[in-house]
Structure 1
Amino acid sequence: MVSGIVTTILLLLFVGGWIWAWSPRRKRDFDEAARLPLDEGEDRR
């Protein structure tokens, strides 16, 4: 019984995270994060 409840909660958390990550509002933030390694900003040594 408890394992079924835990599984359901984890499934809902996973689906919620998936919806959050694929939300159109997050696209700009993820695009900026994807470009970070390519930026020629200040030297990080």
Structure 2
Amino acid sequence: MMDIGTLRGLGTLLVFVAFIGVVLWAYSGKRKPSFDAAAQLPFADDAQTPSASQQVSRSNHQ
């Protein structure tokens, strides 16, 4: 039978392996284009979509 120390050690090992997996996934070359596109989203031009105040203003004038 395993004692609590062995179970905690196995749990730590499992979390460490999962962490390494996430790091490898995040830094893989296949993900770079989608991460680059997501990084540019805050700078996207919002001129194509009218703001809420513009929509209210338009509906009041009709």
- Count of aligned residue pairs for this structure pair: 45
Q: Which runs of 5+ in 2 are unaligned?
A: 1-5, 53-62
**Are 2:41 and 1:36 equivalent residues in the alignment?**
yes
Higher RCO, 1 vs 2 (CA within 8 Å, ≥6 residues apart): 1
Question: Identity of paired residues, percent?
Answer: 33
Coordinate RMSD, CA, aligned: 1.5
User: Which of structures 1 and 2 has the bigger CA Rg?
Assistant: 2
Distance 1:33 1:43, change over 3 A: farther
Runs of 4+ in 1 over 4 A off after TM superposition: none
